Structure 1
Amino acid sequence: MRTIIRRVKIWTPLVILLVIVFAVVQAFRPLPTPTLALTTDASYAFEGDKVSLPWPGEGQGWMDVEGIGKMDSFGEQKPVAIGSVAKAMTAYVILKEHPMKPGSQGKTIPVDAKAETEGGYDKDGESTLNTVKEGDQLSQYDAIAAIMIPSANNIARLLARWDSQGSEEEFVKKMNAAAKDLGMKNTTYTDPSGLKETTVSTAEDQVKLGNELVRMKALTDITRLPEWTDPSGLKYRNYNTLVPYNNAIGIKTGSTTAAGGNLLFAGTQEVGGESAIVVGAILGQHTAPIIDTVNAVSKTAMIAAQDALTSDTILKKGDVVGYVDDGLGGHTPVVATKNVSAVGWAGKTVKLELDASGTIPHAAKSGTEVGTLIVGDGAGEGVEVPVALQKPLTEPDFLTKLTRVS
């Protein structure tokens, strides 16, 4: 008994010390990073049969709603010549490398001898700006207007040289790099104007580009113009005759004998108090006159897409949409801070996801915004509504910290 008692006297303090050390370590261990979990349905389906747009009988086409996803398409999405639709990428690269504020004239571009010479190619049937002379100063605004409205090949090539230290070839490399970054897997650019038949793409790929272009207000301020006056005072009508009707905002026509008539276009539509943008492309229209034909079939498809748009309220302000998980078993509900409306069309399913835009605190009062509910195509874009704590978020209690195993 004396031996047992002696051992108890020796080990008990050690055990107590170990327990105290363990409790202190557990209490002061870094807490797990809180996360957001979705509890509402992960998708919402609009009622009705799948939308089928009125497409032409030849070529290929694609229609998106910017930030939401694909509405409809037709034809085999195989690479075909696109003509001057290629200038849409030329404008994109220029504006990415040389941003221009809406309403400004942008940078100044000196006109070289080659641009003047190539301006005379209009005698051979090329679209050019034949009023520029070597030594002229062309604003960035006018240069982009020249390629997007009268589709001036000589100015597209001038912009390429201006951007890439005189090398059109280097600029074309930038065009293809941009196409790769945008996921345009079936697109190859071989020149900045689109005159070469080796510059090819698909309607699907061009719509990917179009979704980016409609976010560039400095560009759409130009493409929505029905006509443009060059620095010499000469007026040019927009080959895209969808503007200025039916809320159309451009974007770019293209035509050659091989390519037929092609059009990358977009238009806005007010729906549910929001402004949605439909972005479409139709390629390969060979019925003469090809530009008139592609404008006509594009107008029909665009208006049908605009008319198909609708808006549903899928969640109301205060609805529980998920919870904050503290990593130790604690779940604090989060709610929508306003009504959640989704833009879509019959047969469309949109995804819902919770995004923790910043670090979620371990403790916060009710009403604190802790993330965003995104309703869209699942690509991180769409309608965004902040979510907030329904009740106070508190740190795990001492017993929870003490008994944690992770």
Structure 2
Amino acid sequence: MAKWTYLAGIGVVVIGALGIQIGRPVGAATLTSTLTPPHMTASLQMDWPSGPESYLAVSPGGEVGAAGADQPIPVGSVTKMMTAYLLLQKYPLGLYSPGPSVTITAHDVHEYQQDILSQQSVAKVVQGEKLSERKILEGLLVASGNNIAHIAANWVSGSSQAFTQLMNQEAKKLGLHHTHFVGPSGLNPGNVSTPRDETIIAEKAMQIPVFRQIVAMPQISWPDSSRPIENFNYVVGHDGITGVKTGSTLAAGGCFVFSAPRTIGSHTVTIFGAVLGQQGTKQLPQLQSALNDGVSLINQLTAQLKPVSLVQKGQVVGRIQAPWTHSVSLIANQSVSTVMWPGEHVQERIHWSGGQTGSLSITAGSQHWSIPLMLSAPLSQPSLIYRLTRGL
């Protein structure tokens, strides 16, 4: 009897030991990344304009670089981008539609005549004529008529004062922290902004097809005008430049907000940017100086843009290792490539919670991708034999 009691006791001890062994933690599977972030030249090489402030961005992509203090300075007729943008918010317009019309009043004609006397940029108006929304936009963005800016403001808000309040409200909504408007035309030097803020406005407005179409026009026809009105943006239509707006006053100097689509490898991106405050010389007027500098920035950046593969479908991006089995690979389920410039940073992070799938997050500038991942083989669970024999 004592013998069987002894053996039973041993059995209890063995079973207890086996239970403890089986219940012990088996260790966690670990993830090791095999990704190598793309290597780019250390820094962007740019010969920035001598004027006070300049800015460059790529869409999609984000901010590339800037020069100057990034402080509010007068912007002249670049203001009219916001005026046109708000007109289109109030009265959306299709690409091939003239849109609603506004009737020119005696006040509009008087303002036009006063603007001529003070040598402002204008577009002729005649009392009683009807100008379509499209013509108003052309007069704003191509002819850069200060009188047209006030007609648009009155049409949208009832007065230039009320419209100016709307402009500042919209600037705040768009996050333009260094922009302030005192009128719809830009003649007043109290209209101030920065190249970064003006580029944000341009990118936003250029998402509207009819705005994009009009700013790309080298010239327009105009009622009661025997000759076409030339775009003050003399370089539009050359070297792939599609806009956006110029400005030139004594206070603002030469200003140029630009857009230029570029094909880099299999990608199409748009270079956006702005040059503000160019003073020019006796030989080179301030507006021409700003245009030249804008073209130079576009060409310099274009030469440094490169197509870059961030991940390939089927690429092993990480390995899962567990002490009870052989390692398995995490594999990307799609390819991602983009356009990059020297100095741009790429952040990559693998997300895996222990299952059969995961994801890869990639951030480059303002772009973000989430790529699905899958295991190359199922990750097995620890076997009973492994649980019993580990550590022995």
Are residues 391 and 77 of structure 1, via their aligned partners in 2, closer, same or farther at CA, if it must alter by over 3 Å? same
* Aligned pairs for 1:262-277 within 5 A: 262-277=255-270
Asked if the contact 1:43–1:351 (Cα under 8 Å) also holds between the matched residues in 2, the reply is: no
Are 2:122 and 1:124 equivalent residues in the alignment? no
Residue 348 of structure 1 is matched in structure 2 by 344
1:177 is the counterpart of 2:165:
no
Does residue 59 of structure 2 align to residue 66 of structure 1?
yes
The CA RMSD over aligned residues, in Å, is 3.2
Pick closer, same or farther for the CA change 1:199–1:40 going to 2, 3 Å. Answer: farther
Normalising by the residue count of structure 1, what TM-score does the alignment of the two structures yield?
0.73
Q: Is the 8 A contact 1:337 1:385 kept in 2?
A: no
CA distance in 2 between partners of 1:198 and 1:100 (Å):
30
CA deviation map 1:344-373 (0-9, x unaligned): 111211446899xxxxxxxxx99xxx9996
**Change beyond 3 A, Cα 1:176–1:334:** farther
Corresponding residue number in structure 1 for 2:10:
none
Q: What's the counterpart of residue 15 of structure 1?
A: none
CA distance in 1 between partners of 2:368 and 2:108 (Å): 45
In the alignment, which residue of structure 1 is the partner of 2:45? 52
Distance change (3 Å), C-alpha of 1:279 and 1:44: farther
Question: Considering only CA atoms, is the larger Rg found in Structure 1 or Structure 2?
Answer: 2
Distance 1:187 1:180 in 2: 8
In structure 2, give the amino acid aligned to 1:141.
R
Distance 1:317 1:201, change over 3 A: same
State the alpha-carbon separation in 2 of the partners of residues 168 and 41 from structure 1: 60
Q: Which amino acid aligns with 1:317?
A: K
Question: How far off its partner does 1:85 sit?
Answer: 0.5
Distance 1:40 1:235 in 2: 62
Q: Structure 1: which amino acid aligns with 2:152? A: L
| Structure 2, unpaired ranges of 5+ | 1-30, 319-328, 379-392
Identical columns (%): 28
- 1:7-406 aligned at under 5 Å gives the runs 44-120=37-113, 121-130=115-124, 132-164=125-157, 166-233=158-225, 234-288=227-281, 289-319=285-315, 337-351=333-347, 375-378=363-366, 382=367, 387=372
Residue aligned with 1:248, SS: coil
Deviation at 1:320, TM superposition (A): 6.6
- Segments of structure 1 that go 5 or more residues without pairing to the other structure are 1-37, 323-332, 356-364, 394-406
Give the secondary structure class of the aligned counterpart of 1:52.
coil
Change (3 A) 1:146 1:48: same
**Deviation by residue 1:85-143 (Cα, 9 ceiling, x = unmatched):** 0001111112223222223323322222222222222232111112x212221121111
Residues of 2 paired with 1:227 and 1:374: CA distance?
43
Q: Distance in 2 between matches of 1:320 and 1:177?
A: 49
TM-score scaled to structure 2, two decimals? 0.76
Q: How many Å apart are 1:201 and its aligned residue? A: 0.6
